[in-house]
Chains A and B, each alone.
Chain A
Amino acid sequence: MSPDTALRGRPERRAFVNAHIVDPSQGLDAAGGIVIADGRIVAIGPKVTAVNAGTGTPITDCGGKLLIPGLIDMRVFTGEPGNEHRETLASASEAAAAGGVTTIIVMPDTDPVIDDPAIVDFILRRARDTAIVRVAPMAALTQGLAGERMTEIGMLQEAGAVAVTDGRQALANARTFRRALAYARDFGMLVVQHVEEPTLANGVMNEGEQATRLGLPGIPAAAEVIMLERDIRLVELTGAAYHAAQISSAASLDVIRAAKAHGLPVSCGVSVNHLVLNENDIGAYRTFFKLSPPLRSEDDRKALVAGLADGSIDVIVSSHNPQNADTKRLPFSEAEFGAIGLETLFAAAFGLTRTSGVPIKRIIEAMTARPAQLLGLETGTLAAGAPADFTIADPDRSWTVETSLLRSRSKNTPFERHALEGRIVETVVAGESVYAYDQR
């Protein structure tokens, strides 16, 4: 079962007209509409209007709002199986739908770990039965995430895993990583790494003045750069497709740019948090801003935004990581890393078009066409024939993040009571409306 066939799709023909369509996969940024049938897109473009949508076809007038491919979030942690009190596939999918995300890529560090084809199968079945958006797992890169022995990458891929990763920990052993890269290459499997040298990363926030003032142990940006540089040498040796799950510093960006200039199969992501927040937001030990990698300086943040704008950074992720009071209402150094982000992903990223002048096409591409391309998914596009996964957003509606209204089972958002611009008003997966904003 592949993630793209998990949802069968509604047979009804429907049209969405009078929209501002942005689909980077086709270089499209124009007024127009789409027609869907059997869960797929059958027509798209400026010529799709209420008049020619076809007689008897139910029509939704988008009122000039944005219509974009459903977002693909490449980094989502849930608690299923093992920690369902934090998040289930169902609750994560509800949050995703409300955030315009139609495909969530879930991480393997569940309990049990997704390191066996049978667990991949379990995730896909649970998702089919309980989730309202598409779910595709990344499988573990090493057995039990222990960092020692590679997993059955070929069989995991056959079962439906879209990439391999050790989740929130780096595979530090260079020899093991090299062999896993070499082996994954033969299967065309993307290897995703949390880039952080563990022996340098035993702090809790960015190393620097803020950490010193707060009396907290720091994690230097070098921890990230060292691992990234090492990994890129191994990519050079093996030819495997490699993706740095998240980068957080300006220095890492230089490394990525150099690797790409060399023509290496290297890509990277950034969390939306690192594009809009910095270490100063931690304020008085606010644990919802304790992230891995840590929020860094304002200079780093600006560099990451520039890297996103010029395409050096490939994808934006939410790095949705649900944590409850039991793991977050603790002294900063003892609290867990992570923040939720599915429901705020679009709005937080969209804000960059206004605050930093990042082209909207690039922002949408980083959450649709580019992740689809890296993972080999047929979604992330509005091209005729593609699955009818899309979302409609009102770019002019501002809203305030109320934690009590968030759909995630955990409420650890760093955007609590923030006013965000850009509101998802409808989300469609395989032709079926899975979310509608009720104050439209």
Chain B
Amino acid sequence: MTPATDRPPRILEGQHLLGVEALKVGEIEALLGLADRYVDLNRQIDKKQATLRGRTQINLFFEASTRTQSSFELAGKRLGADVMNMSMSSSSLSKGETVLDTAMTLNAMHPDILVVRHHASGAPDLLAQKVGCAVVNAGDGQHEHPTQALLDALTIRRRLGRLDGLTVAICGDIAHSRVARSNIILLNRMGARVRLVAPSSLLPAAVGRLGAEVFTSMAEGLSGVDVVMMLRLQLERMQGAFVPSTREYYRFFGLDQDKLARAKQDALVMHPGPMNRGVEIDSGVADGIQSVIREQVEMGVAVRMAVLDALARNLPGGGNA
């Protein structure tokens, strides 16, 4: 056994990262602090670490994703893990295998960390009950996307120096957004004030009870905010089902320069991607001086490295187990 003094400090209490709901303020701060260090590392020429040497990370994606999957893959590889990607949208599922069957099969391969994305809310929780390794939720249905909320928090904190006391407007398809849910929880926990701005048809029931102020007008909702966080609106939802049309959505809820002018002068513009330019966000704003959208992607890798590192510390043989 390694001597106690060499052990990296424990950051997370739990074995898994299934949502930000379970995270305490101290855990969030510790993760963000660790991520800050990885940001610096990622900007060096030699990015390779041995932190996860010998560990196996499986990215189990039941729903197609380019950004999140490659971000997790890169994070694992930079920490020295062996990373395997499994896209389940096209393979076993079509053969009738259940989520748990898949998990048990993978479990037999002795992975250390399972990164899961699934279209059904709660699927990662179900997996976590059945496998022996650490499970990271990479987005489940309309429930949570914890690493997105962490990377958003890191981006804001690095730019504005704090989270406490800021006002953040989350705008768009709140109803179908796991990003919104994780951000509402995390930002509230860190002392920020959260506003939700969307047409009523895109607001889930009783969302005000989650600790956010609800607006149905961009002009009012963006007034004086420090951060404007736009959400993606899926095409099939804006052809009359939830929103009449893309042009009407852009007219009333798309972030353009006029609407942004309601926010604080240096307010940050964020978007989890991929963007629909000219629908929920104007191209000029997306690429403008206030936009930190590309920075969010960079923070994503660092945050995921911090999460993988922190979870590995709690694994058997990880020093804290």
The answer to whether B201 and A182 have CB atoms under 8 Å apart is yes
Residues of A within 8 A of B247 (CB): 152, 155
Contacts A183-B199, A186-B216, A238-B200 hold; do A154 and B242 have CB atoms under 8 A apart? no
Measured between alpha carbons, how far is A183 from B239 in the docked complex, in Å?
13
Q: Does A48 contact B (CB under 8 A)?
A: no
Known: A143-B240, A149-B240, A150-B240. A182 touches B245 (CB 8 A): no
**B51 CB-CB contact with A under 8 Å:** no
Does B241 touch A at the CB level, under 8 Å? yes
Indicate which residue in A148, A154, A182, A185 contacts B240 across the interface (CB closer than 8 Å): A148
Q: Which residues of A contact B244 (CB under 8 A)?
A: 143, 149-155, 183
Q: Which residues of A contact B199 (CB under 8 A)?
A: 182-183, 186
CA distance A207 to B74 in the complex (A): 71
Instruction: Tell me the B201-243 residues at the A interface (CB within 8 Å).
Output: 201, 203, 216-217, 239-243
Q: How far is it, in angstroms, between the C-alpha of A384 and the C-alpha of B243 when the chains are bound?
A: 41
Q: Is the CB of B239 within 8 A of A149?
A: yes
Chain A count of residues within 8 A CB distance of the other chain = 18
By secondary structure, the A interface counts as helix
CB contacts (< 8 Å) of B248 on chain A: these are: 152-155
**B241 pairs with A179, CB closer than 8 A:** yes
Given A182-B201, A186-B216, do A155 and B251 touch, yes or no (CB 8 Å)? yes
Does the CB pair A183–B243 fall under 8 Å?
yes
Bound CA span A143–B244, Å: 9
How near does chain B come to A438, taking the closest CB pair, in angstroms?
A: 48
Distance (Å) between the CB of B311 and the closest chain A CB?
A: 41
Closest to B243 in A: A183
A176 to B217, CA, bound (A): 22
In the bound complex, do residue A186 and residue B240 qualify as a contact, i.e. CB atoms below 8 Å apart? no
CA distance A180 to B242 in the complex (A): 8
Residues of B within 8 A of A182 (CB): 199-201, 203
Instruction: Output the residue of B199, B203, B247 with the most chain A CB within 10 A.
Output: B199
Instruction: Pick the contact of B201: A148, A151, A152, A179 (CB < 8 A).
Output: A179
How far in angstroms is the closest Cβ of chain A from B235? 13
Interface presence of A88 (CB below 8 A) = no
Main secondary structure of the interface of B (DSSP, over half): loop
Complexed CA–CA distance, A176 and B201 (Å): 10
CB within 8 Å of B: which A15-50 residues: none
Residue A142 CB within 8 A of the other chain: yes
Q: Which residues of A contact B201 (CB under 8 A)?
A: 179-180, 182-183
Q: A182-B200, A186-B217, A238-B200 are in contact. Are A149 and B251 (CB under 8 A)?
A: no
Q: Which of A143, A150, A153, A155 lies at the interface centre, i.e. has the most chain B CB atoms within 10 A of its CB?
A: A150
The CA-CA distance from A335 to B174 in the complex, in Å, is 49
Closest A residue to B239 by CB, please name it.
Answer: A149
Enumerate B234-270 residues with CB–CB distance to A below 8 Å.
239-245, 247-248, 251-252
Which residues of B lie under 8 Å from residue A183 when comparing CB positions?
199-201, 242-244
Q: When the two chains form their complex, are residues B245 and A179 in contact, meaning their CB atoms are under 8 A apart?
A: no
Q: Which residues of A contact B251 (CB under 8 A)?
A: 154-155
Residues of B within 8 A of A186 (CB): 199-200, 216-217
Q: Determine the residue in chain B with the shortest Cβ distance to A142.
A: B240
Q: Which residue of B lies closest to A153 (CB)?
A: B244
Which residues of chain A are within 8 angstroms of B252 by Cβ–Cβ distance?
154
- Measured in the bound complex, the distance between the Cα atoms of B199 and A238 in whole Å is 12
Distance A185 CA – B203 CA, assembled complex (angstroms): 13
CA distance A152 to B200 in the complex (A): 14
Q: Which residues of A contact B216 (CB under 8 A)?
A: 185-186
When each residue 159-178 of chain A gets 1 if its CB lies under 8 Å from chain B and 0 otherwise, what string results?
A: 00000000000000000100
Chain B residue numbers with a CB within 8 Å of A176 are 241
Nearest Cβ on chain B to A238's Cβ, whole angstroms: 7
- Identify the interface centre among A142, A143, A148, A183: most chain B CB within 10 Å of its CB: A183
Contact with B along A170-213 (1 / 0, CB 8 A): 00000010011011011000000000000000000000000000
Chain A positions within 8 Å of B241 at CB level: 149-150, 176, 179
Residues of chain B within 8 A (CB-CB) of A151 are 240, 244
Please, how many angstroms separate the alpha-carbon atoms of A199 and B251 in the complex?
Answer: 37
Smallest beta-carbon distance A174→chain B, Å: 14
Q: What are the interface flags for A323-359 relative to B under an 8 Å C-beta threshold, 1 for contact and 0 otherwise?
A: 0000000000000000000000000000000000000
Residues of B within 8 A of A185 (CB): 200, 216
Which of B239, B240, B247, B251 has its CB near the most chain A CB atoms (within 10 A)?
A: B240
Q: Which of A43-65 contact B (CB under 8 A)?
A: none
For A142, the chain B residues whose CB sits under 8 A away are: 240
- Separation of A150 and B244 alpha carbons in the complex (Å): 5
**Shortest Cβ gap from B197 to chain A (Å):** 11
Tell which of A149, A151, A185 has the most Cβ of chain B within 10 Å: A149
List 11 interface pairs A-B (beta carbons < 8 Å), by A numbering: A143-B240, A143-B244, A149-B239, A150-B240, A152-B244, A152-B248, A153-B244, A179-B201, A183-B201, A183-B244, A185-B216
- Further contacts, 5 of them, CB under 8 A, given A143-B240, A149-B241, A185-B200: A143-B244, A152-B244, A176-B241, A183-B200, A186-B200
| 3 A-B pairs with least C-beta separation | A149-B240, A182-B200, A186-B216
User: What residues of chain B have their CB less than 8 Å away from a CB belonging to chain A?
Assistant: 199-201, 203, 216-217, 239-245, 247-248, 251-252
